[in-house]
Structure 1
Amino acid sequence: MRLVRLENVTSGMILAKDIYSCEGKILLAKGVTLTSHFIKRLQSLSIGEIYIEDEISRDIEIVDIIDDKTRMMAKQTLYQAVQDLKANKSLDFSSIQMVINRIVDELLRNKDIMVNLSDLRCVDEYTFAHSVNVAVLSIVIGKALGFHELRLRDLGIGAILHDIGKTQVPNEILNKPGKLELHEIEIMKNHPAFGYEILKEYCEISSLSRVAALMHHERVDGSGYPFGKRGSEIPEFARIIAIADTYDAMTSNRVYRKKITPNKAVEYLMSMGDYHFDHDMVKVFLNHITVFPVGTIVKLNTQEKAIVIDNNRYCPTRPIVRIIKDSKGEYVTKFQEIDLQKKLNIFIEEVCDE
């Protein structure tokens, strides 16, 4: 299978991964042959990408690092939490804790984690899907740093609730498709403090988790908010969540911009190490991120095009690829697979939008 932008999907393509609604119901099941009606329906839901099965991506399996059912449960739990807060009800913390425990357990069972997030989301559910991804990515970093299980669970709680303060920000600001005005930016920048005020009402939530939500927009060079803290003045959890939050936000479609590719997000994090982010934590994170996720179409320096079929754990910029087009842009009649770690004269020039 491979990920394709919806604008490039045509009738007759085969859906390779179930598509769910925000409520957890299957909208389209994998194996369905897509029609113009189905494609228009997906467009109306602002779903930007889908997974398809075709000849060039045969035998390619894209596996998320957490179970699909766990991800869906997490999104639904967070959705309900947001609805409860908006209705002036209390958080069902036991449900949130159960979801984080499940995510931690799954990641602890995975001995050699490489992140290849395969979540499909509509723009409207960005907040819920994003917070779940931030929790997963943060726990991955924490595990790599050697955190014990209970510490991972506290980190996960702080991460999945890091943006809970946005429930106090008007929707017209949250979902504004254009650039925010100065006064709107100031309102948005209050969301960490709003979140802290919400979370401090729950004695079950550790102070580490609450402060992480408060300070996840602090930056190690002092340029962040709300306090302008620097370096080690910023709690460890907040420094971790800042990296996970930024990476997932950059690689997600938003109402006001399209996502960037993982390799570009990686370049940004590398360039911001020691400025915005903790350099050592960025290095740990990048050791567990696939720079070119499986199923990505790339252009090689040979001018051939290829699809990534696997990653090399200790050389993430040089994956294993399958040649699908020759240097003249013609589809090949026989696929050739190349391990770029062994062919040092061949390298990836760019990610393609096929």
Structure 2
Amino acid sequence: MRQVSTHRLQEGDILGRTIYTNDGRVLLGKGMALSASYINRLNKLGISIVYIDDEVSKDIVIEDVISEEHRREAMSSLDNAVQAVKVGKDFDGFTAKKSIDNIIQDILFQKDIFIGLTDMRTYDNHVFAHSVNVCVLSTVLGKALKLDHESLQGLAIGALFHDIGTVKLPKELLKKRTPFTPAEAELYKTHANHGFDILRTKRELNLLSAHIAFQHHEYFNGSGYPRKLEGDSVHHWAQIVGIANFYDNLVNDGPGHTHIAPYEACEILMGSSDKFFPRDLIITFLKHIAAYPTGCTVKLSTGEIGIVVDQNKSLPMRPIVRVVLADEDFSSAQAKEYNLVEERTLFIDSILE
């Protein structure tokens, strides 16, 4: 299985991973042969990257940190909460807690966690997919920081609901993928206040989870919003979710922006040390992130084109790359593999989409 940009898809390509709606229903199923109409639909839905299975990548395994079922359950519980808030009703926080406990158990079960899976997001399910991903990233960082189970639960709940305030914003604003105008940016910032107001009344949820929604855009140097908090005035859990949110927004399209490559996002995140987030949290976070995710297509310093087939977790910038004697559509046979830890004069020039 490998990643392919939707604008490079061809008729007959086999979908390697199921695409879901925001409420957990199947939009397009794994193993489906993509027709021209399906490819056109994917582009219209705003999906920029999908996974396909073909001869050159059929043995490449791309594992998620949590099970597909638990990811789908979390999206569905968040969708139920959003639909309730939209019509002014209360939502069941206990159901969300159950979904969170499943995510936590998945993450605690794994010994070494290395994240490189890219979400296949539509315009409509962006908030849900983004929120679940931020929840996973935050919980992985929380585990690395040795938070106890109760703290992990409060952290994960706050991460899952960190953007619930966007339910109060216009749909057109959330679908926009070009930079916001100053007025649009100010309107978007209000989602932090809305989120806090929604969550703080939920007695079954930790009040600190509401403060995560309130503070996840606050920065270490006081340049964030909505209250321009500085340093340790930003709650520790909000700092964790802030890092996860910042990274996920960099590597995925979202309101007011498009995505960049994971290795570029890692560089930007490192450059934000002690400006936006504490350096020690960033260093710990990046130990669990694949700068060049398994399944992505890369161009090497030799000009060769290849697919990342595996990771060297001790050196995440130096993965294992399979080079094929072909152009970017991989129409010819496999040639060889480079372990970039051993090939010290060979470098990845860029990720191709």
Which range, TM-score by smaller chain?
over 0.9
Structure 2 length as normaliser, TM-score? 0.94
Give the match's secondary structure for 1:242: helix
Residue 87 of structure 2 corresponds to 87
Once the two structures are TM-superposed, the CA of residue 241 in structure 1 deviates from its matched residue by: 0.7
- Does 30-39 or 209-218 show the bigger shift? 30-39
Cα gap change, 1:330/1:14 in structure 2, threshold over 3 Å: closer, same or farther? closer
In the TM superposition, residue 321 of structure 1 has moved relative to its aligned partner by 1.0
Identical counterparts, % of pairs: 39
- Look up the equivalent residue of 1:47 and give its one-letter code: I
Per-residue deviation, 1:57? 1.2
Residue 67 (structure 1) aligns with: 67
> Which residue is equivalent to 1:300?
300
Name the CA distance, whole Å, in 1 between partners of 2:332 and 2:178.
43
Give the structure 2 partner of residue 170 of structure 1. Answer: 170
8 Å CA contact 1:218–1:229 kept in 2: the answer is yes
**CA–CA distance in structure 1, aligned partners of residues 352 and 52 of structure 2:** 16
- Structure 1 Cα separation of the partners of residues 294 and 348 of structure 2: 14
Query: Structure 1 length as normaliser, TM-score?
Result: 0.94
Which blocks of at least 5 consecutive residues in structure 1 are unaligned?
Answer: none
Alpha-carbon distance, 1:182 to partner: 2.8
Distance 1:173 1:33 in 2: 33
What is the deviation of 1:123? Answer: 1.9
Query: Which is further off, 15-24 or 3-12?
Result: 15-24
Mapped to 2, the partners of 1:3 and 1:47 lie a distance apart of 12
Partner of 2:214: 214
**8 Å Cα contact 2:325/2:334 also seen in 1:** no
Q: Secondary structure of the residue that 1:123 maps to in structure 2?
A: coil
Q: CA deviation at 1:55?
A: 2.2
* Superimposed CA distance per residue, residues 130-156 of structure 1 (whole angstroms, 9 cap, x where no aligned partner): 111111000000000111111101100
Between the aligned partners of 1:120 and 1:134, the Cα distance in structure 2 is 15
**Do 2:179 and 2:257's aligned partners in 1 also have CA atoms closer than 8 Å?**
no
| Counterparts in 2 of 1:218 and 1:337: CA distance versus 1, 3 Å | same
Deviation of the 1:332 alpha carbon: 6.2
Counterpart of 1:195, as a letter, is G
Q: Which segment is superposed worse, 110-119 or 93-102?
A: 110-119
Tell me the residue number matched to 1:10: 10
Amino acid at match of 2:190: N
Which amino acid counterpart does residue 219 of structure 1 have in structure 2?
A: Y
**Higher mean Cα deviation, 319-328 or 158-167?**
319-328
Q: Deviations over 1:58-104 (max 9, x none)?
A: 20011111111111111111111111001000021011111111100
Aligned CA-pair RMSD: 2.0
CA distance in 2, matches of 1:330, 1:188: 42
Partner secondary structure for residue 153 of structure 2: helix
User: Is residue 303–residue 327 contact of structure 1 (8 Å, CA) maintained in 2?
Assistant: no
CA deviations 1:106-148 (Å, max 9, x no partner) are: 1000111111224322122111111111110000000001111
Q: Is the 8 A contact 1:251 1:260 kept in 2?
A: yes
Shift in Å, 1:179 = 3.8
Shift of 1:185: 2.4
Distance 2:167 2:317 in 1: 39
- Alignment of 1:147 onto 2:147: yes
Counterpart residue number, 2:31: 31
Alignment CA distance shift 1:50-1:330 (3 Å): closer
The verdict on how the C-alpha distance between 1:5 and 1:86 changes in structure 2, with shifts beyond 3 A counting, is: same
* Partner Cα separation in structure 1 for residue 63 and residue 118 of structure 2: 7
What is the letter of the counterpart of residue 92 of structure 1? D
SS at match of 1:241: helix
Pairwise CA distance, 1:172: 3.5
1:40 equivalent in alignment to 2:48:
no
**CA deviation after TM superposition for structure 1 residue 210, in Å:** 1.6
How do 1:1-354 and structure 2 match up within 5 A?
1-254=1-254, 256-325=256-325, 333-353=333-353
Q: Is the 8 A contact 1:143 1:152 kept in 2?
A: yes
In 2, are the aligned partners of 1:302 and 1:327 still within 8 Å (CA)? no
For 1:278 and 1:165, the matched residues in 2 are separated by 26
- 1:267-291, Cα deviation, whole Å (9 max, x unpaired): 1101111111111100000000011
Query: Alpha-carbon deviation of 1:326?
Result: 7.1
Give the 3 Å change call, closer, same or farther, for CA 343–329 of structure 1 in structure 2: farther
Code of the residue aligned with 1:234 in structure 2: it is: V
Query: CA separation in 1, counterparts of 2:133 and 2:223?
Result: 25
CA contact (8 A) 1:16 1:51 kept: yes
Read off the aligned partner of 1:98 and give its amino acid letter. Answer: K
Distance 1:330 1:42, change over 3 A: closer
Contact 1:65 1:116 in 2 (8 A): no
Q: Once the two structures are superposed, what CA deviation does each residue of 1:285-337 show, in whole Å capped at 9, x if it has no partner?
A: 00000110001111111221111000001100000111113799997644211
Structure 1 segments, 4+ long, off by >4 Å, are 326-334
- The SS at the match of 2:143 is helix
CA distance 1:94–1:187, change in 2 (3 Å) = same
| Counterpart AA for 2:3 | L
Aligned length: 353
- Contact 1:218/1:234 (CA < 8 Å) preserved in 2? yes
Which has the higher mean CA deviation after the structures are superposed, 279-288 or 332-341? 332-341
